[in-house]
């Protein structure tokens, strides 16, 4: 397949550096994407796995990572729903060149069901466009909440839901991070981004000690720099928070990423042979290689937990 050829070529350039943080598959003849595609056929997981992508500082690449991870996972045969949970800067639809007719706010208000507002894309993923609606969760009446949760039950069928959250330690962001099966913290090598990433990890740990936090270092000039940043965060989190941070990988700083954003087409689709695309696919493969240690509770369970977080139990 041509796409895998391109990935393989890009991998030749990056294999050495990726090997430091990547799985053994990097060194195999097959690309990580091919290996995972063969090992994890679509539809083998029972529940929807929820992956929240977050950061301390804004503008570090959460949306870029979320969109490209979602598409990479779809390319591996997973049924993926990408949910725009950024209350301030909802922009997944912008990156995909889609003008949504409806958004989550209408579901909150009971005017539509979630099924009504799911937007299929040309990239093998479905999306739910963002709005300020999530901040209204706490104001829902019992009926509205039931309507909302029933809609979530009906969705089903997704292997993975990726949530692109806002930045920072605010309660809205934490509410979308806490109930997830996996939390991916994105940072860049900038000292302010690293400091804020640590702050975010600290907030997450304060609420969900039992989970490992995953890290992606975006916009790196070299792999050595990525490793330096990751090692620093892993070491201070271990020392001061007694928390394990797992290095999922890194993404090179590349002008092509900005170019694909400007053309409103996803990077891994527009430039599948770019080094940065190989990095994104690699991170996706790493995430999928890992099965849930306990059966997930699906999307409905996820939102129930959000409700509980904001003090509105749903029983």
Ligand X SMILES: Nc1ncnc2c1ncn2[C@@H]1O[C@H](COP(=O)(O)OP(=O)(O)O)[C@@H](O)[C@H]1O
Q: Would you say 73 or 155 has its CB closer to ligand X?
A: 73
Min. distance of Cβ 67 from Mg ion in angstroms? 9
Q: Which does 130 bind (CB under 5 to 8 A by kind): ligand X, Mg ion, none?
A: none
Q: For residue 151, what is the DSSP state?
A: H
Alpha-carbon distances of 312 from 104, 166, 177, 184, 308, rounded to whole Å: 19, 22, 17, 26, 5
Q: Counting contacts by CB under 5 A, is residue 165 touching Mg ion?
A: no
Q: Which does 226 bind (CB under 5 to 8 A by kind): ligand X, Mg ion, none?
A: none
Q: Would you say 150 or 263 has its CB closer to ligand X?
A: 263
Distance of CA 312 to the CA centre of its chain: 26
> Where along the sequence are the contacts to ligand X (CB under 6 A)?
55, 58-64, 218-219, 251, 253-254, 257-258, 261, 276
Burial class (CB in 10 A: 0-12, 13-18, 19+), 289: middle
* Structural tokens at position 197: 């990433």
Q: Which does 139 bind (CB under 5 to 8 A by kind): ligand X, Mg ion, none?
A: none
CA atoms 253, 268, 277, 66: torsion sign: positive
Q: Would you say 106 or 254 has its CB closer to ligand X?
A: 254
Q: Counting contacts by CB under 5 A, is residue 63 touching Mg ion?
A: yes
Min. distance of Cβ 229 from ligand X in angstroms? 14
* Structural tokens at position 223: 């792999």
Q: Is 168 left (phi over 0), alpha (psi -120 to 50) or beta?
A: left
Q: Which does 257 bind (CB under 5 to 8 A by kind): Mg ion, ligand X, none?
A: ligand X
Q: Which does 187 bind (CB under 5 to 8 A by kind): ligand X, Mg ion, none?
A: none
Q: Which does 58 bind (CB under 5 to 8 A by kind): ligand X, Mg ion, none?
A: ligand X
Q: Which of residues 86-105 bind Mg ion (CB under 5 A)?
A: 86
SS3 assignment, position 217: strand
Q: Would you say 63 or 121 has its CB closer to ligand X?
A: 63
d(Cα 259, Cα 267) in Å, to the nearest integer?
8
SS3 assignment, position 147: helix
Burial class (CB in 10 A: 0-12, 13-18, 19+), 136: middle
Q: Would you say 59 or 157 has its CB closer to ligand X?
A: 59
Min. distance of Cβ 46 from ligand X in angstroms? 31
For Mg ion, the binding residues (CB under 5 A) are 62-63, 86
């Amino acid at each position: 397949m041509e796409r895998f050829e391109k990935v393989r070529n890009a991998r030749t350039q990056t294999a050495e550096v990726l090997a430091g943080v990547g799985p053994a598959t990097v060194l195999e003849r097959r690309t990580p994407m091919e290996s995972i595609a063969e090992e994890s056929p679509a539809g083998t997981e029972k529940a929807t796995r929820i992956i929240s992508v977050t950061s301390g500082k804004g503008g570090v690449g959460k949306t870029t990572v979320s969109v490209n991870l979602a598409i990479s996972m779809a390319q591996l045969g997973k049924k993926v729903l990408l949910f725009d949970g950024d209350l301030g800067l909802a922009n997944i639809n912008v990156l995909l060149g889609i003008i949504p007719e409806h958004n989550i706010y209408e579901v909150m208000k009971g005017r539509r069901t979630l099924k009504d507002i799911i937007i299929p894309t040309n990239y093998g993923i479905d999306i739910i466009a963002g709005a300020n609606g999530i901040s209204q969760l706490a104001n829902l009446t019992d009926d509205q909440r039931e309507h909302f949760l029933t809609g979530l039950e009906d969705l089903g069928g997704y292997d993975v839901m990726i949530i692109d959250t806002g930045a920072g330690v605010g309660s809205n962001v934490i509410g979308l991070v806490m109930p997830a099966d996996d939390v991916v913290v994105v940072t860049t090598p900038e000292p302010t981004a690293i400091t804020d990433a640590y702050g975010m990890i600290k907030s997450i740990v304060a609420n969900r000690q039992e989970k490992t936090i995953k890290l992606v270092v975006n916009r790196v000039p070299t792999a050595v720099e990525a490793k330096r940043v990751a090692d620093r965060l892993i070491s201070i989190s271990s020392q001061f928070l007694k928390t394990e941070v797992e290095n999922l990988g890194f993404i090179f700083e590349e002008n092509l990423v900005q170019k694909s954003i400007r053309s409103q087409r996803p990077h891994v689709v527009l430039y599948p042979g770019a080094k940065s695309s190989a990095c994104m696919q690699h991170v996706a493969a790493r995430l999928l290689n890992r099965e849930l240690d306990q059966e997930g509770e699906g999307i409905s369970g996820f939102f129930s937990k959000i409700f509980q977080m904001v003090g509105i139990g749903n029983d």
